[in-house]
Each structure stands twice: as structure tokens, then as C-alpha cells.
């Protein structure tokens, strides 16, 4: 009741401040409509810096200002604010899958690509990082394999940080909230003339945790992370520049607030397990970008490196009894090289050629301890993945008909996957090697085409596109039968039509897209056979995903601004039969797990400029609503989270270079399941226990920002 009253007071404060501020409101140009068009935003993920309205694809662009005004600090915060995008909270940063239009993967390689400052993030365990120093986030929905290759079957997310060549100054941000939530971040951005730019940004975040383990009355999901980014830019000449961007994040996280579900009440029992579980991760990335800008073309070279070192420790039985415990260690070294040459200028034909190569090297170890049998399973993996690609994209304007454009692309993508595997059992202190093998190299060669037509009708753009999606195959890190050690690539064909257009005299800018995805040879997450301990991927199904997404953004008028996005996804299995022993289960017609059918995001803001007020120059009131669901958690569709909505709010008091924010998350204290899974009962394998993770409760806080 106290939380509900607090939320009510917070919302009433919005209205009260609005009324007070109206008495000081500046009554002049603030009611005029800006000449700026939202569709003019450039999208670097297009690889040719095309404008948002010109690209024949469904795209969302979130600016740094929008991130600040909505309080989004992670990729998961984009959920529902971008239509048909969902990133759940599954207990730790290790498990951070992203779903777009129903396409995603809970384990192994991701189905949605992520680039941060031109560095590819190939592993999902690196997706959950803290936002700071961010300039823009771009989300391209639908397969992006022609330009980005492997594992972009669902789409691509491109994160761009601030450049000292376009932004100068010093910033400091402090934040404190309930549940021991503290953040401090800051950065300095400067340049020497037009030749040299430099920046350094740091970020520290901590929270005590949101869920309590009743076994020892400690908080389960505490988090501390430290991150930094350094950027150096040297314009050697008017045509040639060199840039280096280095970033790191060190994260220490308690995890897995999983509670046993009471089948009688349908409610979660208290979290109660006896061994501390956590996820620790060190992440370092670096990119060297060389640009040569000629009068009619541009050459861009990016050399990227990423190091990832993590450790997962998890009480796998989630009970008061010591039954089994898992330790997972991983080191990854990744290096990639991309070179692009592309045309520039107002020409009828635009072209782009590119070459790409990468190598990933993994050193992983898994140790499973079975206390009741005095036994340990020890598995070691040396896993190397190497690939190269050649790609080309061509755009022809006025294609036979004036204002009709054709965009066509093709990519040749080759990959080689090698695994050394060793499996030891330690029983009663005696080690026995069960397997020590180097598997034959898994090689793939893919051709990934795309074609799109777009027609410019005034300021509107109508388009239709067909593209192929591709996700690489590979090796399972958990398997017990030889036939399960690997899985093949999966493919999709994506059909899309859409329109982008200003509305009501350019007061609004709208996007509408309809899509149909035919998904073949689908990699489906299944329990390891025969024990049921852990998960593996099998090419077991075919699916279809169809739906639409619509977004509407308003330019500021009289201090008001607003945006709304809605996505509908009907993603279901069309062919999926699971055989386990003598039992056969047909999942055809069931919804794909972890994918919300509806996603809804609404942001409403009011900026009030003040005159005659000695304390503040302006006040901004903002409300964000994010809704998603229903979400089915299993292939059987026997349990689901109904549609739910989260309401966030923010009140900002602004005085020149100083800003104070009062903020609240989940103001209505909505209860929902953020994760659900089933696991065999350790005492009776015929029974399945159900576990859930509840969503984060209401949180209130205050922030201080200084920009000089």
C-alpha cells in the first residue's frame, strides 16, 4: 500500500509542478514548430550513411537526448520502446538474448547482431553492458546478412558513442536510488583545432540487489561494474583520418533469483538455495578506424579486437540441499578486419564493395560437482572460429521510373569451426578420461542476397524488400550423445513492405511495416539428452513469424513532445516434433517461447521554459510506458506471462549547465514474471519443478548532472 501511495504522490507531483510552472512560462517562440525533419537523421548502420527516410527497411533511431529523458541505461531498456524488440532479464548478464520479430536464441550464438563503435559483439554474454557516453542507438529490424553476415538473421543494433570532434566539454553525472542503487559517470571531450580530438569517459554502477535469498537472508542479484572509454581522432589531412576507440567494463554480479513456483497457488515461493551464485565478467574492446575521403568515393577500414573473460558459478539445483553446482569459465579473443569502399555525392547510382574477415578463439572449461555421488564432471573446450566475406550493394535511383529506386546486395560468407574437446570424470578422487577428441572442421559457405524497391512520393517513401537471413551452425558446449555435439546453420526468408512519411504538416513522422518470415532448419534449445541437465541446440523445427510495427513521433510543440510504438508478432512453429525415448511430442502451431506477441511503448514529455524564476530556467516532465506480452515460456506453451505494463517517470529541473532529476521506475509496482523455466526434480526425475524470476519492484531515485 505504501508503494502504491508513493507512486500516486509521484504522479501528482508531475501535475502540481506543471501548474506552478505555467505561471512562469515564456509565451513566445516555444510554440513554433521546428523545421527539423525526423526523417533526416543519418543511419550509419546502413553502411552508406543514408538518411532514415531513404532506407528501404524498418529502422528505429534513439538519440542521446532520448536516452537521457527516458532513463534508458542498457539494451534491455529498449524493450518495447522499439517495436517488436524484446530483451528479457534472465538472472545475469551471461544470459542476455535479444529477440526481434520473434527471431532470437537463448543459448549459443545470438540471432541479432550488435556493433559498438564498429566493434562486433559476437557473444550474447557481452550484450548486457552499461550505457554511458552514448550518442545514438540504431536498430535495423529484419535480416541484415548482406552487409553484416553471420548471426544477423533477426536484425542489427548499432551503438555509437560521442565523438570529441562533434561534442566538446566536461560532464559529471551522479545518481542514487532505492535498493542501494548508485551511479557515477563523467567524461571530458576536447579537440585541438580541427586536427586532433580526444575524450575519456568513466562509469561506475552499483546496486545491492532486488531479490532476497531467504536461506541466508542475503540479496541475490547485487551488481558492481566499472567501465571506461577512451577516444583519439587524428585528421592527418583533409582526406585522411585515423581514430582509435578503446573501452572496457569489469562487472561483478550476484545472480539467478529463481524461486520455486507453488503449483497450488501459482505464486513464487521464497528464493531458497544454499550456495552463493554469481557471474563475473571482464570485457575489453578496441577499434582502429582509418578513413580516406575523396571527392567521389570514400574508403573505410576498421580493425577491431575484443577480449572477454568470464566466470559463472551457479547452484544448479536451486535448493537448500547441496546436490550439484556448476562452474563455467571462458576466455575469448576476437579480431576482425573490414574494408569498405563506397561512392558518395548526389549520383543516380550508388555502390559499395566490402571485404571482411574475423577469427575467434575460445578457451572454456565446465566443472559440474555432484555432491551426493562425490563426483565431478570436467569438460574443456578449445574452440576456434574463422571466417571471411565479400559483399556488394548497389542502389539505382530513377530505376526505369522517376523516383523509383532499386537496392540490391549480395554477400559470400565462408566460415570454419574447429573444436578440441576433453571430458574427464573425477570420482572418489580418481580422474578418468572419457573423451579426448578433435572434431572434424565444420565448414559452411553461404550466399546471402537482398533486393528492395522504394518509391519516393513527395516526402514519403514506400518500399518492399526481400532478404535472406542466416545464422551460423556450430558445436554445443553441453551434450552427452555424439550425434548432439554439433548443429547446422539456420536460414530465413524475410518479406517486408512499409511506408515512411511525415504527417499533419510534418508535425508527426510515421513508420509502418508489415513482415512475413519463413524460418527453416531452426536451431531450437532443448534439454541435454538423456540427463536433462543443461541445454543444447538442435536443428529441429521450422517456423513462421508474421506481423507489423508502427511508430509515430511528434516534433516539439508548445513544449510537448511524444512518441508511440507498437509491434505485433505472431511467431509459431510450423514443423517441430520432439522424440524423447518412447515419447513423441508435436509442437506445430505453438508459439515460439520468449517472444511477446504485443509490444507497446509510449513516451510523453512536457518542457516548460520559465521566466522570472530565480531558481530554474526550465522544468521537464516525462512519462514512459512499456508493455509486452503475452510471453510463452516453453515449447509446450503450458505457462505464460500475460500482457503487462511498466510505468516510469522523471521530473527534471534545469538551470543552465545544471540538471536535477527525480525519477521512478515501475511506479505502479507491477508484478510480473521476467523468466520461467522447468527442471527435473532431483529426487524424482519423473517430476518437473517450475522456477520463476519475478520482475524488479518500484524504484525511486534522484540524479544530478553537470555539463560545462
How far from the centroid of its chain's Cα atoms is residue 60's Cα? 13
For 360-409, write each residue's pLDDT tens digit: 999 999 999 999 889 999 999 999 999 999 999 999 999 999 999 999 99
Q: What is the DSSP letter of 70?
A: H
How far from the centroid of its chain's Cα atoms is residue 130's Cα? 11
CA–CA gap between residue 58 and residue 437 (Å, rounded): 45
Extract the C-alpha cell encoding 357. Answer: 574477415
The region that residue 75 occupies, defined by phi over 0 for left and psi between -120 and 50 for alpha, beta otherwise, is alpha
480-484, 530-534, 614-618: range with highest mean pLDDT:
614-618
Give the list of residues 6+ apart from residue 293 with CB closer than 8 angstroms, or none: 238, 239, 240, 241, 344
CA–CA gap between residue 559 and residue 94 (Å, rounded): 41
Domains of the chain, CATH where assigned:
45-707 (2.40.170.20)
Averaged pLDDT, 308-324? 93
CA–CA gap between residue 180 and residue 218 (Å, rounded): 14
CB 175 within 8 A of CB 206: no
Cα dihedral value 488, 493, 494, 495, nearest 10 = -170
Averaged pLDDT, 41-58? 84
CA–CA gap between residue 659 and residue 642 (Å, rounded): 38
Tell me the helices (H) and strands (E) count for the chain, helix number first: 3, 42
Extract the C-alpha cell encoding 654. Answer: 534545469
The pLDDT score that the predictor gives to residue 501 is: 94
Q: Is the pLDDT of residue 237 over 80?
A: yes
Extract the C-alpha cell encoding 531. Answer: 540427463
CA–CA gap between residue 261 and residue 383 (Å, rounded): 37
The fraction of the chain above a pLDDT of 90, given in percent, is: 70
Residue 687's SS3 state is coil
Among all chains, which residue has been given the C-alpha cell 524461486? 259
CB 577 within 8 A of CB 586: yes
CA–CA gap between residue 390 and residue 414 (Å, rounded): 9
| Cis peptide leading into residue 556 (ω within 30°) | no
CA–CA gap between residue 666 and residue 701 (Å, rounded): 12
CA–CA gap between residue 263 and residue 381 (Å, rounded): 39
CB 69 within 8 A of CB 77: no
Residue 316's SS3 state is coil
Extract the C-alpha cell encoding 139. Answer: 536498430
Residue 633: phi, psi to the nearest 5?
-100, -15
CB atoms within 10 A of CB 587: 22
Averaged pLDDT, 16-24? 45
Averaged pLDDT, 185-200? 95
Categorize the per-residue pLDDT at 37 as very low, low, confident or very high, splitting at 50, 70 and 90. Answer: low
For 134-169, write each residue's pLDDT tens digit: 999 999 999 999 999 988 999 999 999 999 999 999
Extract the C-alpha cell encoding 88. Answer: 528479457
Pairing mode, strands 196-207 and 85-87: unpaired
CB atoms within 10 A of CB 664: 24
For the chain, give the mean pLDDT. 89
The pLDDT score that the predictor gives to residue 19 is: 47
Residue 648's SS3 state is strand
Radius of gyration of the chain (CA): 26
CB atoms within 10 A of CB 49: 12
Of the listed ranges 23-27, 133-137, 490-494, 659-663, the one predicted with least confidence: 23-27
The pLDDT score that the predictor gives to residue 301 is: 97
Q: Is the pLDDT of residue 482 over 80?
A: no
CB atoms within 10 A of CB 187: 25
CA–CA gap between residue 569 and residue 106 (Å, rounded): 18
The pLDDT score that the predictor gives to residue 53 is: 85
- Helix extents (H) in 142-300: 145-148
Averaged pLDDT, 687-691? 88
Averaged pLDDT, 655-682? 92
Q: Is the pLDDT of residue 2 over 70?
A: no
Of the listed ranges 52-61, 387-396, 552-561, 684-693, the one predicted with least confidence: 684-693
Taking the model in full, what pTM does it have? 0.91
How far from the centroid of its chain's Cα atoms is residue 702's Cα? 26
Q: Is the pLDDT of residue 14 over 50?
A: no
The region that residue 256 occupies, defined by phi over 0 for left and psi between -120 and 50 for alpha, beta otherwise, is left
CA–CA gap between residue 414 and residue 386 (Å, rounded): 8
The pLDDT score that the predictor gives to residue 36 is: 42
CB 652 within 8 A of CB 696: no
For 255-289, write each residue's pLDDT tens digit: 899 999 988 888 889 999 999 999 999 999 999 99
The pLDDT score that the predictor gives to residue 541 is: 82
The pLDDT score that the predictor gives to residue 370 is: 92
CB 480 within 8 A of CB 531: yes
CA-based max dimension of the chain: 83
Q: Is the pLDDT of residue 529 over 60?
A: yes
Categorize the per-residue pLDDT at 224 as very low, low, confident or very high, splitting at 50, 70 and 90. Answer: very high
Cα dihedral value 524, 529, 532, 537, nearest 10 = -20
Q: Is the pLDDT of residue 25 over 60?
A: no
Closest of 341, 438, 336, 427 to residue 381, by C-alpha? 438
Amino acid at each position: 500500500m505504501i508503494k502504491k501511495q508513493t507512486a500516486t504522490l509521484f504522479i501528482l507531483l508531475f501535475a502540481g509542478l506543471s501548474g506552478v510552472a505555467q505561471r512562469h512560462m515564456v509565451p513566445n517562440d516555444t510554440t513554433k514548430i521546428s523545421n527539423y525533419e525526423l526523417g533526416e537523421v543519418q543511419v550509419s548502420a546502413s553502411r552508406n550513411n543514408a538518411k532514415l527516410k531513404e532506407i528501404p527497411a524498418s529502422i528505429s533511431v534513439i538519440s542521446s537526448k532520448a536516452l537521457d529523458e527516458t532513463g534508458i541505461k542498457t539494451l534491455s531498456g529498449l524493450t518495447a520502446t522499439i517495436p517488436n524488440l524484446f530483451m528479457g532479464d534472465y538472472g545475469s548478464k551471461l544470459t542476455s538474448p535479444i529477440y526481434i520479430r520473434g527471431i532470437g536464441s537463448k543459448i549459443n550464438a545470438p540471432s541479432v547482431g550488435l556493433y559498438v563503435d564498429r566493434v562486433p559483439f559476437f557473444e550474447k554474454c557481452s550484450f548486457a553492458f552499461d550505457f554511458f557516453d552514448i550518442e545514438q542507438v540504431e536498430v535495423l529490424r529484419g535480416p541484415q546478412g548482406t552487409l553484416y553476415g553471420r548471426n544477423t538473421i533477426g536484425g542489427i543494433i548499432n551503438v555509437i558513442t560521442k565523438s570529441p570532434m562533434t561534442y566538446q566539454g566536461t560532464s559529471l553525472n551522479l545518481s542514487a536510488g532505492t535498493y542501494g542503487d548508485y551511479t557515477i559517470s563523467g567524461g571530458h571531450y576536447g579537440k585541438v583545432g580541427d586536427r586532433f580530438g580526444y575524450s575519456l569517459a568513466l562509469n561506475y554502477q552499483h546496486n545491492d540487489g532486488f531479490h532476497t535469498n531467504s536461506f541466508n537472508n542475503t540479496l541475490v542479484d547485487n551488481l558492481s561494474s566499472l567501465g571506461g572509454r577512451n577516444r583519439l581522432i587524428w585528421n592527418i589531412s583533409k582526406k585522411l583520418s585515423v581514430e582509435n576507440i578503446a573501452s572496457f567494463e569489469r562487472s561483478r554480479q550476484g545472480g539467478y533469483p529463481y524461486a520455486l513456483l507453488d503449483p497450488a497457488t501459482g505464486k513464487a515461493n521464497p528464493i531458497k538455495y544454499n550456495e552463493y551464485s554469481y557471474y563475473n565478467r571482464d570485457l575489453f574492446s578496441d577499434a582502429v578506424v582509418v578513413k580516406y575521403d575523396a571527392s567521389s568515393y570514400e574508403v573505410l577500414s576498421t580493425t577491431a579486437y575484443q577480449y572477454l573473460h568470464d566466470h559463472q558459478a551457479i547452484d544448479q539445483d536451486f535448493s537448500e540441499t547441496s546436490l550439484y553446482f556448476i562452474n563455467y569459465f571462458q576466455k575469448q579473443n576476437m579480431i576482425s578486419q573490414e574494408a569498405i569502399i563506397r561512392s558518395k555525392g548526389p549520383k543516380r547510382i550508388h555502390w559499395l564493395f566490402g571485404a571482411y574477415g574475423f577469427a575467434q578463439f575460445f578457451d572454456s572449461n565446465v566443472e559440474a560437482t555432484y555432491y551426493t555421488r562425490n563426483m565431478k564432471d570436467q569438460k574443456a573446450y578449445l574452440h576456434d572460429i574463422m571466417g571471411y566475406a565479400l559483399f556488394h550493394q548497389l542502389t539505382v535511383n530513377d530505376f526505369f521510373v522517376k523516383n523509383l529506386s532499386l537496392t540490391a546486395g549480395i554477400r559470400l560468407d565462408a566460415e570454419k569451426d574447429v573444436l578440441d574437446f576433453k571430458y574427464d570424470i573425477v570420482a572418489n578422487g580418481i580422474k578418468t578420461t572419457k573423451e579426448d577428441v578433435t572434431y572434424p572442421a565444420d565448414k559452411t559457405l553461404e550466399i546471402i542476397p537482398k533486393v528492395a524497391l522504394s518509391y519516393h512520393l513527395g516526402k514519403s517513401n514506400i518500399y518492399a524488400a526481400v532478404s535472406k537471413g542466416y545464422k551460423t551452425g556450430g558445436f554445443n558446449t553441453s551434450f552427452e550423445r555424439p550425434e548432439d555435439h554439433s548443429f547446422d546453420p539456420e536460414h530465413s526468408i524475410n518479406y517486408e513492405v512499409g511506408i515512411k512519411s511525415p504527417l499533419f504538416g510534418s508535425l508527426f513522422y510515421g513508420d509502418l511495416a508489415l513482415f512475413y518470415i519463413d524460418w527453416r532448419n531452426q536451431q531450437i534449445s532443448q534439454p541435454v539428452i538423456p540427463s536433462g541437465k543443461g541445454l543444447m541446440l538442435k536443428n529441429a523445427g521450422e517456423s513462421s513469424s508474421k506481423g507489423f510495427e508502427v511508430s509515430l513521433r511528434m516534433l516539439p510543440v508548445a513544449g510537448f513532445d511524444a512518441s508511440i510504438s507498437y509491434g505485433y508478432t505472431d511467431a509459431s512453429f510450423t514443423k517441430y516434433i520432439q522424440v524423447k525415448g518412447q515419447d513423441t511430442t508435436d509442437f506445430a502451431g505453438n508459439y515460439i517461447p520468449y517472444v511477446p506477441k504485443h509490444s507497446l511503448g509510449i513516451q510523453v514529455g512536457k518542457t516548460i521554459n520559465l521566466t522570472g524564476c530565480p531558481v530554474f530556467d526550465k522544468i521537464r516532465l516525462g512519462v514512459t510506458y512499456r508493455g509486452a506480452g503475452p510471453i510463452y515460456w516453453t515449447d509446450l506453451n503450458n505457462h505464460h506471462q500475460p500482457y503487462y505494463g511498466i510505468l516510469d517517470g522523471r521530473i527534471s529541473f534545469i538551470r543552465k549547465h545544471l540538471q536535477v532529476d527525480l525519477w521512478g521506475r515501475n511506479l505502479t509496482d507491477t508484478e510480473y514474471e521476467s523468466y520461467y523455466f522447468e527442471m527435473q526434480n532431483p529426487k524424482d526425475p519423473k517430476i518437473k519443478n517450475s522456477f520463476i524470476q519475478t520482475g524488479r519492484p518500484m524504484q525511486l531515485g534522484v540524479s544530478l548532472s553537470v555539463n560545462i
